[in-house]
Homo-oligomer: A and B are copies of this chain.
């Protein structure tokens, strides 16, 4: 049965992406679009300054935008995707969860709460067992409606952890990791987003809060659920050193990340083994039949000048991650270039795929 989906922050950059992905989706139908009081009451086509390269879907044009309140149409939703700015997400999402509405949020506000799963759906869907327990407990307690919070990871984190997960599974813990990112402008939204004077013939070697997110979120996403299925146990600080340097560049979509990593165990695997493991990795979302799950989770590219954002960002509709130039590293063990689509696997797309996982697991 098609589930009713709501979108919070529907007029913003992430919200627009949610609408694109949910339109014509076999599992979801857009039931509620929420935005600020300035937009509330308008038809979506009039409220939004649509900036996507795909046209605004006809089915969404005439939906009436409402305020972001967990009543009315939003109360009828099976799942609500949030593209709210961090300034508003904190209180609004809390209100929704308390009202019994499940939230999948792109905002950073609750990512560090240990009882909130921080999910990259092609990487750590097993962390959803926390949600499974919540739902099971609620049902056992006779509750028909249960709210919960799930967070989508930061965009550059999603690309980074994609190859790490299968490598750790195959070769044991990684104890050191450096990453230098070249991040697309779409990650910064468009009201106003990145000023053109900042990226035309230029690089901005700084993105506020980004390095810290990369360094911290990695340890949570690669961590484990505790025995009681109530919290995530992060990888301890001392077991995994992560160092990030983040740059904004003149690319529309697609984050490029130059990474180096070292395994804790000796001897380290060979380049060929690393490639094989990445190539063979099949994410659970695909195994569970999720509609948007990539057929090939990680594309191992052999051409010496790939991956490139313009040529590779849309593999598997942006749900596949590309890894190229896998080679030995004189300082750590291996270096490689990772490319991921920041608005798909790095934001709204991950949100939708998390929704598909919940559905596949009967959690919505």
Contacts and interface: CB of A to CB of B under 8 A. Distances in A.
Contacts of A235: none
Contacts of A190: 195, 197-198
B196 A195 contact: yes
Nearest to A54: B314
Given A53-B311, A202-B251, A331-B243, A258 B195 contact: no
Interface in A182-229: 182, 185-186, 190-206, 215
Given A53-B311, A205-B305, A243-B332, A195 B192 contact: yes
Contact of A249 (B182, B306, B324, B331): B182
Interface stretch (A117-125, A152-160, A173-181): A173-181
B331 A178 contact: yes
A350 interface: no
State the copy count for this chain: 4
B245 A337 contact: yes
B205 A258 contact: yes
A203 B304 contact: no
Q: By CB atoms of chain B within 10 A, which of A53, A176, A309, A331 has the most?
A: A331
Given A196-B198, A309-B202, A325-B206, A256 B252 contact: no
A315 interface: yes
A308 interface: yes
A26 to B, nearest CB: 22
A241 interface: yes
Contacts of A311: 51-53, 202
B197 A186 contact: yes
Interface string A293-325: 000000000001111111100110000000011
A364 B217 CA distance: 59
Interface in A105-137: none
A331 B174 CA distance: 12
Contacts of A165: none
Q: By CB atoms of chain B within 10 A, which of A178, A252, A305 has the most?
A: A178
A53 B203 contact: no
26 contacts: A51-B197, A53-B311, A178-B329, A178-B331, A178-B332, A180-B258, A182-B249, A185-B196, A185-B197, A194-B196, A200-B251, A201-B250, A202-B251, A202-B310, A202-B311, A203-B249, A205-B305, A205-B306, A205-B324, A205-B337, A215-B330, A243-B260, A243-B332, A243-B335, A247-B258, A249-B250
Interface of A: 51-55, 176-178, 180, 182, 185-186, 190-206, 215, 241-243, 245, 247, 249-252, 256, 258, 260, 304-311, 314-315, 324-325, 329-332, 335, 337
Given A196-B199, A199-B200, A243-B330, 9 more contacts: A53-B314, A178-B260, A180-B180, A192-B193, A192-B195, A200-B201, A205-B325, A242-B331, A249-B250
